[in-house]
Every structure is written in structure tokens, then in C-alpha cells.
Amino acid sequence: MHHGVPSMSSAASASTVPVDGAAADLDGFAHRFADVNGARIHYVSGGAGPAIVLLHGWPLTWREWRGIMPAVADAGFTVIAPDLRGLGDSDRPSKGYDKKNVADDIRAIVRELGFETIDLVGTDIGMMVAVAWALHHPTEIRRLVLAESLIPGFGLEELMNPATGGYWHFGFHAQVDLATMLTEGHEAEYLGNNWKMFSPLKGITHEDREEFLRTYGNPDSMRAGFRHYAAMLDDGKANRATFDQKLTMPVLVLNAGLGIPQEQTLGGVELVFANVEHDKVLLAGHAFAADRPDWTADRIIRFLEPAGGRDKDA
């Protein structure tokens, strides 16, 4: 499969299924598909230089990062933004949603593209995938940005208990058949509430919502998304079984000013990682890269620069 990024002469319109090699609606980026680890995974890539992988959350897709991708590529990176297994335009297999396996999907793409090490950014469920990647394959990651989530095995379980003020939706989503049945025919309403809450600055646009609904707005897609949640208790057991001592790669924790309280994310991260700094994306919701793309891109680039991402002579 050819993976070079072609010159972009026309933008693919939103709300259409992308074709391998087609121009994305970002100058210099293309849609790609890779058959890896038993699934066909969709990703958008562009730029040149060291690789940075951006892992989105639920119920979003690679488009969560759309606002920061050109700036990160311009800073001297190859940007790789996949749709996680079961989500977006990636396949929806019935199994394989444990976060180590989801990471293995993306690891196979990275290897196929010729990269041995990466910088890795993950938010929401994408953060859980990033942590599993780091725990199982720490030498593959130069620097790590973890945002707006909790770590299975290191704090998630306590914070998903509604009886103590935790997040109710984790348990609901983990009941895959029930959650699928109850949201069937109401996908737009259920998901729309999330998108509105995640992006109080309206960084998630009407066009974005239409595009998200294209891939999420049916029972098969909802079921696949819920499978990510159903795997989380097992993810916690796997994380704890793999954890030996704190990982030493540099980590930046980002939380939105209007998102998950930073102490919740930071509490888990500091149990697993030794070299942690943190910052807040003020005046942004859970989908902070959509609400504050310029700030987010600049902060991530500044964190990654010591890893050699930007050509200092440019």
C-alpha cells in the first residue's frame, strides 16, 4: 500500500465516506486505510519529520484534532490521526477493544509508515490507549501528552462509582447490549448532548457534528463505541499486571478549564509516570483541541521541541 501524501488539489466534502489516498479537508493531509491487527483502520496523515500520533476520544473521531494538525505538521512533524477501532471510518469488529490491542492497531500503522519511535497524544479513551501503549512498549514513545481522562487500574474504578459522586456513564456504556438498545433511534439526541457539553465554546461545529453523526449514528457504531467501555475493568487489571515501576518518558498532562478536574487526571498519571508536568487549557471544554486549537497546538509543540521535532534552523 502506498502511504505517501499526495498533493492536495481538492478537499473531500464532509459527510462522505473517505477513499484511501483522497485529500482530507485539510491542506496537505490525506485519508489512509491500513489493514492491521485484524481490522481496517482509517487515519489521516500529513507533514514530514518525526511522527506524532493523535488519539481521539468518544464520541469523536480523528476530526477532534483537525484544528491543530496543520500547525503541528508545520512545526516539523509527520502527523498521524487515526480513528480508533470501532469508531469513525475504522472497522467495527466484535472483539479486540482492550486498550493494549487498540494500541497495537496503531502501532502496526506506525511501523508500516517506517517509524520506530513516536510522540504520542491521547485524550479521553485515546488517553487510556496511550497509557496502555506506554506501559507495554515504553521504548517506542519519546514524549507523551495525556489529557482529559482517567487511567484504568490507577483511579478510574473509584471515579466511575456514582455512589461516591463518580461518572455514571462508564457503567451504563459498559452494559453494551442495554446501552445500544436504549440509544437506538435516539443516537443524535444522546450524542448531541455530549458534543454540546464537550465544546462550550462551540469549537465542535455543525459540520463536525454532521460528520460525527455519519459514523456514530447507527446501532452498530454505538455498540462498537460501548465495547471500549466494557473492556475498561479488564484494562485496569492488565495495566496493574504490567506496571513494574514508574515510566520515565516526559509527560505533559492537559486538562480543560471546563473539563475533567485536573487533580483527577493528574492523580492517576503521577502513579504511573515519574516525569510529569501539567497545564490547563483555560476557557475550553472536554474537546479542548476544538475549542482552543491555536493554544493547544502551541503548547504541544513547545513540549515536544526538546525531542527534536522542529528544525531550529528553519
Q: Which three cell numbers stand for residue 69?
A: 494538525
DSSP E strand boundaries for 66-107? 78-82
The 10 Å Cβ neighbour count of residue 143 is: 22
- Residue 122 one-letter amino acid: G
How would you classify residue 308: left for phi > 0, otherwise alpha for psi between -120 and 50, otherwise beta? left
Report which of 132, 89, 124, 127 is spatially closest to residue 107, judged by C-alpha positions. Answer: 132
Q: What are the residue numbers of the active site?
A: 124, 229, 286
Q: Phi and psi for 144 in degrees, rounded to 5?
A: -135, 130
d(C-alpha 95, C-alpha 91), whole Å: 11
d(C-alpha 69, C-alpha 54), whole Å: 9
C-beta of residue 251 within 8 angstroms of C-beta of residue 224: no
Q: Hunting for cell 487526571 — which residue is that?
A: 265
d(C-alpha 178, C-alpha 185), whole Å: 14
Q: Which three cell numbers stand for residue 104?
A: 497495537
C-beta of residue 277 within 8 angstroms of C-beta of residue 300: no
Q: How far is CA 152 from the centre of its chain?
A: 16
d(C-alpha 116, C-alpha 107), whole Å: 9
d(C-alpha 156, C-alpha 150), whole Å: 5
- Residue 155 one-letter amino acid: G
